A and B are shown apart, each in its own frame.
Chain A
């Protein structure tokens, strides 16, 4: 092993998988070996069994569907507003000066602390769940996008001007395409955050969703179900992350060069 020396693709996958194996092994030893009581931590087999029951008999698939819908819904609404606003702020300094202080402030407001208020305003329906995710992702997204667009290489902007572009086409042909891969990365990251917010939103005042199932299981001390729920979230998060990465690679092949 030497610092910064790359690892072959095969070895990378093998190493990545082996930690999962280690993780499950430690878990199995702790539970099957009787080191941890069943009440506190279910063993892997019990977890898988109750997961199967959840999916086949208790309609857990519908909960998963609801949660995915909420994450994507809140995230898409946030992105649809944040991307144009972030680009406008990055490109035009007066717009940035107008919004930036408030957005910086709002970014630190914890979305979960708004849940009681949002329940008051929007009830316990979908609007409230989507609002939590929106609040949790929108402000950070706007800031990151505006910084990225504002950091566009000045020499590229100057080159574009000497090639005859005017301001509107500078934004369309230089600022946006130059920032696009980084914006896509930021969207991917914020989608990950949206997953944490959705569960928090579902722990309180929800009648469906993975988070709701977890709160129900808590009342029954069903740690096997709770762990299954958490793992499902992890798997969906991982899959959506890999999908996003793949889409970014396909959309922006040039950004992968020379990395």
Chain B
């Protein structure tokens, strides 16, 4: 028998496929590289302490000041507000979906959740500005045209489908035998849900919360349209604020020449945004992996 011919096509295809898979790693490297390089340039002119702990963010006005705290506080306000909306509603809907809903109700509600999740963020921004803000204004007349509350509510609605479907997955992964065991001891459906199902699915629920927070931090269009462009330190959700993402959009809407300090602020703020969301995403994955209960 002749020895097999070397398979050039087979081998070269494998290399091509590997390169395609490697693009994802190159992307991450490029993101980190680009952010690090420009942020380094930025930190040559603004000290790290001023950037991280300064309380004034006025890079586009004189006197210029580069303290991140107002943007960070604005972002946190959106995160807290969005969590207050998304987490209770998301968990309750997930409980309804996994514990109470009939198969028919499920088969209608699941696609509705998918549609909600697929609506572009700019549409939610429009909804915030033309529906939620006027509504808030009729209830609380001191509401500003641009305000954190309206944006936070809408961001909450936006991340709600994700929270609901991740929690639903977690609850449905709890084996039926656990529920039956509790019912046979005489527990009511409320007790089964709150003392058996939710605790058993808790790792999934926490992971959902962390991912929701990460999404809310990175959300851009709704906060740009509805929350305003006023980077101030305030705790009043009815006032206009600015988030990190909204600042990045504000600068890129103007024409900013490369190499200027203003151009570099994009990357400095982007670095902080990237680091926070990356940490949260990794944390969520670890929670899901490490603390997931395994049932036989």
Query: Do chains A and B stick together as partners?
Result: no
